[in-house]
Amino acid sequence: MRSSYLTEKELINDQPRERSLSRSRSRGWEWILFGIILLVSDGLNISLALRFAYLIRFELTLPIFDPQALTSIDYYEGLILLIIPTWLLIFLFRGLYKRNNLLGGVQEYHLLFEANTLAMIIIIAVGFFEPRFIFARGWILIAWFSAFFFTALGRFLLRRVAYFLRTYGYFLSKAIIVGYNQESAEMAQQLSDVRYSGLNLIGFIASSENKIELDKKIKVVGDLNQLGDLIERHHIDEVILTSSALRREDLLDVFEKYGTSDKVKLRISSGLYEIITTGLSVREFAWVPLVEVNKVRLTGSEVVLKTALDYGLSIPILLLISPILLLISIAIKLDSPGPVIHRRRVLGVNGKEFDAFKFRTMVVDGDAVLDRYPEKKVELAKYHKIKDDPRITRVGRFLRKTSLDELPQLFNVLRNEMSLVGPRMITAPELAEYKKWGINLLTVKPGITGKWQVSGRSDVSYQERVRYDMYYIRNWNIWMDIQLIIQTIPAVLSKRGAY
């Protein structure tokens, strides 16, 4: 990984443009305007979803629906006008317009699904207790799915716009990190991407213990004694305490001053930056709260949901593409001698090794071929990949460009060795590249696709891949998997980074 020391130049280059840095604290009107736009977008999308449901239920005259149901367009138009405000009120009460729940990742989709489900349940309940409130069951069921789809799509597009505007200084909170050590430097490195962190990182506050040890290139804006003045001068919104870099007395002092302050939000790092990825649980023993580190990232209902998604998609896909698999197998056999399937020994959950299946894309005497290209061997050793690999066959080059070589990994999914979405699979020697993050990587199954796949595949550096994998593990939920599966389709079609 790159050095954990974040230079002032690097920090500034990762921030919004200089003209934006001089702005005061995040302005309320930006979020008010965004909330109004979001409210209008949700209302239009719910209306579209209800009309779409009417089209499917009544105008397509599908045989699965009861033809005797009430079909009056005027009645349903009035019903839609009544339902939309109710639906939006539920969104409001579920916190879908609160600043803390916006632009924060796939958790927003989770809340959105819950709100849409609650809206449908309330409408059904009203229909049950009020006989004058009549509607077709098929219509409301289709409306449930379509409302979630359209509102999620609308919010996804608005989020992309907001992420773009963040690079110009909008929708940002000014933040400062208190304490400097390895943990705080690595946090700063990840938080410096303003599009996703939403933080305009001003710099570090050095404690008296580590101030003299700091590299001169580090952007230090003051020490603990100046914290209050710096908060006022720079209009700081967020204060991030690095617990592993501060004395207990200093932590308590800062918390006493700003823990309940309405001027800033106080956030405290765990001090377990390397292992927090797997998740923590807190249990009291004789009134003493103790933190337990989970051995695996996914537990309980999370495992059930992820397994259901894996099997629910893998089995139908394999049935549909079985003729394609047969044709590819024949093409590989005709193109070059050797087995159809290549087995790569990789690491699974808790370091358990297994054979990951891929269509063979190289000649069988690949090592002998590579010996004739010493510069390629150096490239392979350094980057674990070769851009113009002389070992690849003609059919293999096509399979790699289209990612068809990875289709046999669907059988690894059925064998519960891999998942449709997850970190990129690695071999035992590659684990060293992950350094301390390796203890987290093996807490989930590797995936056929993942954040690295939709972000450029082979064009992504190893350091970026590590960061993507850790982000996925730390922030996983089922909506992230669904989002990444959808994003994989254009990523594969674009062929970017595929070689």
Query: Using one digit for the tens of pLDDT, what is the confidence trace for 425-434?
Result: 888 888 877 7
268: left (phi over 0), alpha (psi -120 to 50) or beta: beta
Per-residue pLDDT of 81-108, as tens digits, reads: 989 999 999 999 999 998 888 887 777 8
384: left (phi over 0), alpha (psi -120 to 50) or beta: left
pLDDT higher than threshold 50 for residue 23: no
Q: What is the pTM of this model?
A: 0.69
In this prediction, what percent of the chain has a pLDDT beyond 90?
Answer: 26
pLDDT higher than threshold 50 for residue 22: no
DSSP-derived 3-state class of residue 59: helix
Locus of tokens 């990789």: 346
pLDDT higher than threshold 80 for residue 173: yes
- pLDDT confidence of residue 299: 73
What's 172-273's CATH class?
A: alpha beta
Mean pLDDT over the full length of the chain: 81
β-strands 199-206, 265-268 pairing: unpaired
Per-residue pLDDT of 186-206, as tens digits, reads: 788 778 788 878 888 888 887
List the beta bridge partners of residue 292. 281
pLDDT higher than threshold 50 for residue 110: yes
List the beta bridge partners of residue 241. 178, 268
CB-hemisphere CA count at 13 Å for 458? 17
pLDDT higher than threshold 60 for residue 7: no
- pLDDT confidence of residue 411: 95
* Lowest mean pLDDT, pick from 332-336, 360-364, 441-445: 441-445
* Lowest mean pLDDT, pick from 67-71, 122-126, 151-155, 274-278: 274-278
CA 198 to chain CA mean position, Å: 15
Quote the tokens at residue 344.
């790569």
Task: Give the C-alpha separation, 223 to 169, whole Å.
Answer: 26
In this structure, the number of other CB atoms found within 10 A of the CB of residue 134 comes to 12
Domain positions in the chain = 28-166, 172-273, 301-494
- pLDDT confidence of residue 205: 86
Burial code (b: 16+ CB inside 10 Å, e: under 16) for 435-468 equals eebbebbbbbbbbbbbbbbbbbbbebeeebbbbb
Kindly give, in sequence order, each residue whose CB lies less than 8 Å from that of residue 481, ignoring residues fewer than 6 positions away: 306, 309, 420, 421
